[in-house]
A and B are shown apart, each in its own frame.
Chain A
Amino acid sequence: MSSDPVALDLAGGVLLALALAMLAVRRPAAQARAAALQSLVLAVAAVWQSVGRGQPVLLLAALAALAGMAVALAAPGGRNLDRGPVLLGAALAVLAVAALQRAEPAGLRDVLGLGLATVLAGVAATARRAAAAQALGLLTMQNGVALVALGMGRPWLAVAAATPLLPGIVLLRRVVPR
């Protein structure tokens, strides 16, 4: 099995679509499931790259992404969320993808664009009022950066991107009041 840029592009597309879906939904459980699926897709992509490139350290990034999935699923329920800035998130995503169409190397354009678009959609999600939605926005940003690092073939950056904010996200979701 070898490293496959198309598979990473596909993972990036799914990540971005889920990030935009998270902005659109108002039910906390639906948002948590979308975030968990996003982390799962990232974990699968990391395992795929780990095997394809022969970089076992990427398995750590996959483990961190699975931890992120657990964090997303351990969701407190509660009232419906406020409306998310879907148009802003979509506009930022289109801008990111368009801005990177001349980036070099050409093989990285799509994954970079999709990863950065996911980061920006996550930034838009942090503008929501509910702490749970903000925490999942942070998780989305983190997943986007990890995807970019995966695409660039920088394993330690991918691990660093997927791991360190998790305690903060747990704190924001569970400990700090709304």
Chain B
Amino acid sequence: MIEAMVIVVPFLTALALAFVARWRVGVWVNAGATTLVFLLACLLAGQREVTGHLLRLDALGVHLALLTGLVAMAAGWFGLAHVPRLIAARGIGRRRLRWGHALDQVQFGGTMLAVLSGPPLLVWLGLLAASLAAVAGTGLAHGRPAMLAARRALLLGSVSLVLALAGTVLLPLGSLVGLGAAFLLLGYGGLAGLAPLFVWTQAAARAPVLTSAQLGPLAAASLAALLRLRLALPGLDVPAWLFVSLGVATPLLAALGPRPADARGAAALACSAQCGIAAVAFGVGGGPAVTAGLLHLTLLVLAQAALLLTDDLAGRPAALTRAAGLAALAALPPFGLFGSACLVAVAAVGVAPWLAVPVGAGLLLNARMLLHCIPAPVGMAQAGPSTQAGSAIRSLLPLVPAWLMLALVLGLGLIPAPVLPWFAAMAEAR
């Protein structure tokens, strides 16, 4: 019952938001609905595992529902301060903003449907709704660059979705399970930002920040669909090595390709690269590798959200928070991605020692690309003059969601031991 509400509430909210003409009301409805869904997702953690005809409530699904809910709630609360600035800067029209809120909820609901569904077709429908909503959100911002980004995201996202659907169709045929898995890997891998379709995440990252902040959970849901496939078919070698190959190729291609124009582009590329590292772990397989991969995936979603939720904020605290977000996404110590990347590397080397070279090179090149963005993040607001003492606290409030995310990334890096059993339980899910 609760799992159904977690999926249905965002879609109902989207319907309601389409009729709310006043953007101030829409912002509050958005924040309230995401908070409600996150609280409902927290209740899921106490329930026992259930596998029904339509929905599946297991450790992996609950974890991803919590992660998706947390990021959406943080984005919703960030929107309370961000949207008035966006309106003032004429970054988006008021009527388009109404659709933007509705699309955010569709993206949220679609991701929840994908992570909590059992049948592969329902998982695909959830990812379809979420990715098409993200694409439509990309086209909402003013200007030709936004439209061109929307076109590119639509094309690449649609190709990924059709390939994934072809895989979903072929998978039940026993003799073609390898081919079906390969199609699924290319399709869902593309949605998660893996090579060769990783340009899609860069294009979709041009969306307004409330939309792009939820791209991380969408990528995690896509990779989780592949992980479920990998765990269900442990003896299938072709998808495992394809998984590893795409995972290894992604950070290398992302770092060696054209340099991104701004910090947003760099963050999207870095997210793809870190998804590649998680994919290596899932491809290698086995309890320790999958546990490390899931920890890495969780931390990268949080780090990306922390970085994006500082968008257009001025002042030294915002600039420092942004720099910390970039450092976290670059997998630098003491942030958690450093530790999880080391765990992935150790697990991968245990299976194939040569994997140390491409994985290490990918991580180093990715960190180098992001470090270029730290001194002066182009495309996001620069560090402005210090705020007046009277409004200091008010100016810090919009940073609270980003700090919450960064605190989690830092805390899980410094003391990962208490949460490792939680991730190990997910690695055993089928």
* Residues of A that sit less than 8 Å from B by CB: 99-100, 102-104, 108, 112, 116, 119, 122-123, 126, 131, 134, 138, 141-142, 144-145, 148-149, 152, 154, 156-157, 160-161, 164-165, 167-169, 171-172, 175-177
Contacts and interface: CB of A to CB of B under 8 A. Distances in A.
Contact of B158 (A138, A156, A175): A138
B209 interface: no
Interface string B153-179: 011001101110110111011111001
Nearest to B166: A145
B347 interface: no
A91 to B, nearest CB: 17
Contacts of B170: 112, 148
A112 B175 CA distance: 12
Interface in B114-128: 121, 124-125, 128
Contacts of B161: 165
Max chain A C-beta neighbours (<10 A), residue from B132, B148, B150, B166: B166
Interface in B398-415: none
B40 interface: no
B377 interface: no
A149 to B, nearest CB: 5
B135 A152 contact: no
14 contacts: A100-B176, A102-B175, A104-B174, A112-B173, A119-B162, A122-B162, A145-B169, A148-B166, A152-B173, A157-B165, A168-B135, A171-B154, A172-B158, A177-B144
Contacts of B151: 131, 172, 176-177
Contacts of B179: 99-100
A103 B161 CA distance: 24
Given A119-B162, A160-B125, A165-B161, A172 B155 contact: yes
A101 to B, nearest CB: 11
Nearest to A167: B132
A123 B169 contact: no
Contacts of B169: 145, 148-149, 152, 154, 157, 161
Contact of A157 (B121, B135, B158, B175): B121
B159 A138 contact: yes
Contacts of A126: 155, 159
Contact of B173 (A103, A138, A156): A103
Contact of A119 (B132, B139, B166): B166
Contact of B154 (A152, A156, A176, A177): A176
Contacts of B154: 168, 171-172, 176
A44 B339 CA distance: 57
Nearest to A96: B179
A161 B165 contact: yes
B147 interface: yes
B121 A160 contact: yes
Nearest to B157: A168
B178 to A, nearest CB: 10
Max chain A C-beta neighbours (<10 A), residue from B132, B162, B163, B175: B162
